[in-house]
Structure 1
Amino acid sequence: MTIERNLREHLHKEAETMECPPALSKRVEQSYSQYLQRKRSKPTMKKRLIGGIVAAAILIPTAAFAAPTLIDMLTRTPMTAEQVRVDEVGQAALEKLYGAFPETQSFEIIDASSVQGVQTSITLREKGGTGKTITLHTNGVTGAIEHVIQENWEPAGKPLTVLTGQDIKSKVDYLMNTLYGSIEEYEFAMEQMENPDQKTFILNYIKKGSETPFYQVFVQGHTVSASLIGGEATPETIHVEGFFSTNGKPDYFADAYLNDAKLFALLHMGPTQLKQELAAGKSVVEVAASKNVSKQQVMDVIAQTQVDTQLQGEPHGDAATTNRSHEQMLRAIEPKVLQVIEHKSETTAKR
């Protein structure tokens, strides 16, 4: 056995016993939240970078902040076809695929794997050596199909990129309508990417008032790669950044929870006023108490908004959503909401 293999196996065993410290997990979450806030305030990135961002979103979803063991965060576990069929998320994904494309019921599962509590991936191929393949990357919590890849669905030797723009759009529209539901409400934009090596098109489906695509599709050669991005429409209420502060610097970790129009209505104050109250060292719970609003009322409002956002984009009647009840999702988000509303800014420097 080589020294490299010995070292690899030793590190693998050590990683299985390691736990991500809560403090480190919180630092990672805060840093990531700050990164998102900065990016949201900037213009849309260049098209050539978007593909990398989509890939990163698939590999490092926010569910990773739950601080599982390090090996669970890094290791993808292979699954057999039978395991996929009895797995709740895998079964729901297959049912959705079979309903959208009945011909795939005869496809065989050639590859499958999962990252516990994060993602389940399934690849199916048509029997007979035609090469017609479809891959699903499914959210391990909500069951939503976040990324789908179609390969070789066109006649052999005829890449999609030789088609007219309208024909490409028609084929992508059919995929999106069939798998995700009606896309009539979305605005559409299609551009050719700056890729001298291979002709590539990017198609964005955007909700009115949003700067981020809800669905984003790449067409290259014989492949269509579609991702659920989930861009939100720009709300009418003013958004504030850095509700809390740490060591005298803005802390953005709670912004996604506190920029909630229903919360502001409950507290009878705007986001700027809430930020001022929190800057004085109060918690959201204490601010609410001064308005005769209970902690539970605050939790209910924020948790409901978070769950609604999480479910957005999933077609009505989705099997995974049915299996995971609304009440279960609310209970799952409540600990995080509680952490946010009980948090206080550091008003004095630590000695």
Structure 2
Amino acid sequence: MSIEQQLRDKLQDCAEAMENPSDMQKRIQEASYERYRNEKNNETSKSNLNIRMVACVLAVVLLAPIIIYTGPTVAAQIRTLLNLSGTEDARNFVTKDADSDYVITNLYADEISGNKTAQEVLARIYSGFPETKNFDIANAQITKGIRAGEKIHIFNIILMEKGKTFAEPHQEIVVNADVDTGQIHFVQTIGLEPYAAHAAKLQKSEAIAIANAFLKQLDVPIDGYEAEMTGAHGDEAQGIGQPIVTYKRAEDGKKLFQVNLQDGGMSVAFSPSEKS
């Protein structure tokens, strides 16, 4: 067995066992954006110029989940990284293992403007968060194939405050949507209203009110759903930590989507049966 294969196998074993540390998002974003800036500075052709709108391959692979992260999901996404060829010009990345076979493709600027789902997602973002109309598209990708035994065709996009980098305080929104239907799987915002400055101190009523406002900006209907909160301090809360507001269907109590409140940011993840 070659040294390269031995290293790949060892890394894959580590990926299976690793947890998702709280600072992983920041470190991955910073490393990815630094790579993007280096590539942009070295652009010498039209094709390199066109790709400037689609940076941060590693960031989107790890940071735009369909549902809230679980250990196996993180491991599968890291296996994706192990399959990268390492060539700077490549924009297609293939993952193949026992239960997955899919391709991640970085989109050029003209492909974003010509993609129906991309334009629908952008229109929805701009409607709910008008300030993002002046943001840069830091990344756009499509993932297609079989992942963990499930057929997927997903569009991912990151919009970031113009002139900022992941290494400094900035405003950002990440969206993950189904390419075929346009239905949204996941949204995360950083520094965009509404958010709580001290999320862990929120009372139940306060957390639910902020979560409702967030969903309203995303044009997500909440009539017919019951909201429950866990994970925060406060007399009305259960547990300790960042507040999580879960929305269950009133008629049968089935959990359909979940809002996570963090200091300076929000996210919502939809269950497979209830995409936005």
Q: Give the TM interval when normalised to the shorter protein.
A: 0.5 to 0.7
CA distance in 2, matches of 1:172, 1:81: 33
- The 8 Å contact of residues 226 and 250 in structure 2, kept in 1 or not, is answered as yes
- Equivalent of 1:210 in 247, 252, 275: 252
- Aligned-residue CA RMSD (Å): 3.8
- Quote the residue 1:124 is aligned against: 159
Letter in 2 for 1:220: Q
Q: Are 1:93 and 2:121 counterparts?
A: yes
Comparing both structures, which one devotes a greater share of its residues to helix?
1
CA distance in 2, matches of 1:171, 1:156: 7
Tell me the TM-score normalized by structure 1.
Answer: 0.43
- The 8 Å contact of residues 73 and 115 in structure 1, kept in 2 or not, is answered as no
In structure 2, the CA distance between the partners of 1:103 and 1:52, relative to structure 1 (3 Å rule), is closer
In structure 2, the CA distance between the partners of 1:190 and 1:156, relative to structure 1 (3 Å rule), is closer
In structure 2, the CA distance between the partners of 1:151 and 1:81, relative to structure 1 (3 Å rule), is farther
How many residues are aligned here? 181
Letter in 2 for 1:229: S
- The 8 Å contact of residues 195 and 266 in structure 2, kept in 1 or not, is answered as no
CA distance in 2, matches of 1:156, 1:218: 10
- The 8 Å contact of residues 140 and 158 in structure 2, kept in 1 or not, is answered as yes
Quote the offset at 1:221 in angstroms. 3.1
Partner SS state of residue 139, structure 2: strand
User: 1:178-327 counterparts in 2 under 5 A?
Assistant: 178-192=217-231, 199-229=241-271, 314=276
Rg larger in 1 or in 2?
Answer: 1
Q: Are 1:148 and 2:172 counterparts?
A: no
Quote the offset at 1:138 in angstroms. 0.6
Partner SS state of residue 244, structure 2: strand
In structure 2, the CA distance between the partners of 1:74 and 1:110, relative to structure 1 (3 Å rule), is same
* Structure 1: segments with no counterpart, 5+ residues: 9-49, 61-67, 232-311, 315-351
Work out the percentage of aligned pairs sharing the same amino acid: 23
Comparing both structures, which one devotes a greater share of its residues to strand?
2
* Structure 2: segments with no counterpart, 5+ residues: 9-66, 78-93, 145-151, 234-239
CA distance in 2, matches of 1:139, 1:54: 23
CA distance in 2, matches of 1:208, 1:154: 28
- Quote the residue 1:110 is aligned against: 138
CA distance in 2, matches of 1:174, 1:156: 9
Partner SS state of residue 94, structure 1: helix
Quote the offset at 1:54 in angstroms. 11
CA distance in 2, matches of 1:6, 1:82: 40
Partner SS state of residue 170, structure 2: coil
- Equivalent of 1:170 in 205, 209, 215: 209
CA distance in 2, matches of 1:211, 1:155: 27
Letter in 2 for 1:204: T
Q: Are 1:73 and 2:115 counterparts?
A: no
Quote the offset at 1:200 in angstroms. 1.7
Partner SS state of residue 243, structure 2: strand
CA distance in 2, matches of 1:157, 1:100: 18
- The 8 Å contact of residues 190 and 204 in structure 1, kept in 2 or not, is answered as yes
- Quote the residue 2:173 is aligned against: 134
Alignment deviations for residues 171-211 of structure 1 (CA, whole Å, 9 cap, x no partner)? 221121221333122111111179xxx92221111112334
Quote the offset at 1:150 in angstroms. 1.0
Quote the offset at 1:84 in angstroms. 2.0
In structure 2, the CA distance between the partners of 1:87 and 1:109, relative to structure 1 (3 Å rule), is same
Quote the offset at 1:79 in angstroms. 2.1
CA distance in 2, matches of 1:174, 1:91: 24
User: 1:56-71 counterparts in 2 under 5 A?
Assistant: 56=73, 70=96
User: 1:11-90 counterparts in 2 under 5 A?
Assistant: 51-52=68-69, 56=73, 70=96, 73-90=101-118
Quote the offset at 1:83 in angstroms. 2.5
Letter in 2 for 1:200: Q
CA distance in 1, matches of 2:195, 2:209: 19
